[in-house]
Amino acid sequence: MDTWLNGVLNLKIRFISVFVTLSVLFGCAETQLIVHTAKKINKNIDKRQQQKPGRYKIGNPYQIKGIWYYPNVNYQYDETGIASWYGPGFNGKLTANGEIYDQNALTAAHKTLPMPSIVQVTNLENGRSLKVTVNDRGPYAFGRIIDMSRRGAQLLGFHRNGTAKVRVKILSEESRVLAQSMKNGATLARIGTPISKSINVSKDKVSAQNLEPPNGVQKLSSLSINRSLKERQQIEVINKSGIKENSNVVRQTAVIKANNLYVQAGAFTRFDYANRTAAKLSELGSVKVSSFKRKGIEFFRVRAGPISSINGADKILERVIRAGFLNARIVVD
């Protein structure tokens, strides 16, 4: 009897062990299937997001921190000031014109320029310059004129410092063409996007003839003349942070040593208004009124400075804004 009971018990134990083993196996397989499916769905979502096209947008006037901004088409835009950059906290989110923000793309945020626009941003501290596409709004920190993507900041060499003195100039012809193409329904291609391999290029042979240079111009060596396009595109520029980029993305320009910082309270068409503003801000130190002409109209601008550092300029800008000059800004001159 005991032998029979022991046999039944052993059989039950084996059955339970087999059942548990199969449950674990099927459970693991089911879990792997769910994880694999989730990954596949996420990949599809990411792919759709990356392909999400932007749209042409100017936008209505808007108010941030008590200051009004007026988006407009300005193909003469050319300003100096302080650049900042933004990245991880915004990566993958929508930009103001409906694109998916990519911190590794050559894009930027601007308060008023049309989206998209093409601008040339030059770091006045090291001479590095590159083109970026404006596809977002900002920055809204006082004293900043453009917010670069992380990649743009890296290439311009101020990723670690966080800010830099820059010149921002809209490229009018490229921006006009881009705006018209976007209005006609074209999809925005990011700067640096490789040309499609499907484009047919003529393979006809082209004959070349060496010509003598004009008088007074030094003749180039045969090495530089005969260098192939591929070789030239592989010439690399290495910035201080060790990042390598093709020279057709980042240009090296002359560094202007006299990059003084000023806080500009405003520009007025009447000298008496400018003079009263300067008197009101005299406690800031050196405040001067200077004149300039734009489109034949004389303006009188009021500036405090020169200021030795960006941090110092930020503090003076804050005081000027508190004094009631909400459109005050930092300039580099």
Average pLDDT over residues 248-262: 84
Statement: the pTM of the whole predicted model exceeds 0.75: no
Label each residue of the chain as H, E or C.
CHHHHHHHHHHHHHHHHHHHHHHHHHHHHHHHHHHHHHHHHHHHHHHHHHCCCCCCECCCCEEECCEEECCCCCCCCEEEEEEEEECCCCCCCECCCCCECCCCCCEEECCCCCECEEEEEEECCCCEEEEEEEEECCCCCCCEEEEEEHHHHHHHCCCCCCCEEEEEEECHHHHHHHHHHHHCCCCCCCCCCCCCCCCCCCCCCCCCCCCCCCCCCCCCCHHHHHCCHHHHHCCEEECCCCCEEECCCCEECCCCCCCCEEEEEEEECCHHHHHHHHHHCHHHCCEEEEEEEECCEEEEEEEEEEECCHHHHHHHHHHHHHCCCCCCEEEEC
How much of the chain exceeds pLDDT 70, in percent? 65
68, 158: one domain? yes
Are residues 74 and 162 both part of a single domain?
yes
Position 17 pLDDT exceeds 70: no
Does residue 68 share a domain with residue 41? no
Q: Do 178 and 69 have their domain in common? A: yes
Select from 151, 183, 215 the last residue of a domain: 183
User: 107-153: per-residue pLDDT in tens?
Assistant: 999 999 999 999 999 999 999 999 999 999 999 998 999 999 999 99
Do 45 and 69 share a domain, yes or no?
no
- Domain annotation covers residue 124: yes
Which of the listed residues 164, 183, 202 is the one where a domain comes to its end? Answer: 183
Q: For residue 37, which amino acid is it?
A: T
Do residue 269 and residue 313 come from a single domain?
A: yes
Structural domain of residue 30, as residue ranges?
A: 1-51
Determine the pLDDT at residue 110. 98
Residue 250 lies in a domain: no
Q: What is the pLDDT of residues 275-314, one digit of tens each?
A: 999 999 999 989 999 999 988 999 999 999 999 999 999 9
Tokens coding 111 = 């308060």
Are residues 271 and 324 located together in one domain of the fold? yes
On whether both 18 and 70 belong to a single domain, the answer is no
At residue 295, the pLDDT reads 85
Count of domains in the chain? Answer: 3
- Co-location of 125 and 17 in the same domain: no
Same domain, 70 and 130: yes
246 domain residue, yes or no: no
Residue 225: how many CA atoms within 13 Å on its side-chain side?
Answer: 11
CATH of the domain at 294: 3.30.70.1070
Counting residues of the chain whose pLDDT is more than 90, the rounded percentage is 58
Does any domain span residue 56?
no
pLDDT score at 147 = 98
Quick check: is 326 in a domain?
A: yes
Q: Single out the residue in 183, 210, 231 at which a domain terminates.
A: 183
In a shared domain, residues 66 and 47: no
| Whole-number pLDDT of residue 52 | 61
Domain with residue 126: its CATH number is: 2.40.40.10
The pLDDT of residue 25 is 47
Q: Is 35 in the same domain as 100?
A: no
Q: Would you say residue 47 lies in a domain? A: yes
Average pLDDT, the chain: 78
User: Residue 212 pLDDT > 70, yes or no?
Assistant: no
**139 domain-assigned:** yes
In a domain, 3, yes or no: yes
